[in-house]
Amino acid sequence: EVQLVESGGGLVQPGGSLRLSCAASGFTFNNYAMTWVRQAPGKGPVWVSTISGSGSSTNYADSVKGRFIISRDNSKNILYLQVSSLRDEDTAVYYCAKALGHNFLYYMDVWGKGTTVTVSS
């Protein structure tokens, strides 16, 4: 069974940092791009970042560029998102998702249950 399990969320003050993790199982992890998508309370999903299967290519939404870093450890089947310089508007549930498509234009066929990041003083 394909499974994605996120962890690492929590309550953090504005300007703070967290590292989110996503443990993958049930598929050949390094064959697939992976994506982080976030969803603020009561809002629709918003794409955050994508990384290629090898980890050599990444891209980011403008709203997080320079503050968030996506990475992956293919030996451990884990996806990461380092989130820094956090702002109130980064408060959301963060989902990792397995991506299908091409040229960094993906839809997401499997999603984790999410981890919640709350930015508040």
Partner 1 sequence: EIVLTQSPGTLSLSPGERATLSCRASQSVTSSYLAWYQQKPGQAPRLLIYGTSSRATAIPDRFGGSGSGTDFTLIISRLAPEDFAVYYCQQYDTSPITFGQGTRLEIK
For position 26 contacting partner 1 by CB under 8 A, the verdict is no
Using the minimum distance from each CB to partner 1, give the nearer residue, 46 or 69.
Answer: 46
Q: Which range, of 26-34, 39-47, 68-76, 82-90, touches partner 1 by CB under 8 A?
A: 39-47
Residue 114 near partner 1 by CB under 8 A: yes
The residue within the footprint of partner 1, chosen from 5, 27, 30, 45 (CB under 8 A), is 45
Quick check: 62 binds partner 1 (CB under 8 A)?
yes
Q: Would you say 61 and 68 are in contact if contact means Cβ atoms under 8 Å apart?
A: no
User: Residues with Cβ < 8 Å from 37, sequence gap 6 or more?
Assistant: 45, 46, 47, 48, 94, 95, 96, 97, 108, 111
Q: Supply the minimum distance, in Å, between the C-beta of residue 119 and partner 1.
A: 21
11 contacts partner 1 (rule: CB under 8 A): no
47 to each of 20, 68, 76, 121, how far by Cα in Å? 15, 13, 24, 25
Which one of the spans 10-18, 58-66, 75-83, 84-92 is the region binding partner 1 (CB under 8 A)?
Answer: 58-66
Q: How far apart are CA 31 and CA 27, in angstroms?
A: 9
Contact 34, 51 (CB under 8 A): yes
Chain residues in the site for partner 1 (CB under 8 A)? 43-47, 59, 61-62, 95, 100-101, 104-114
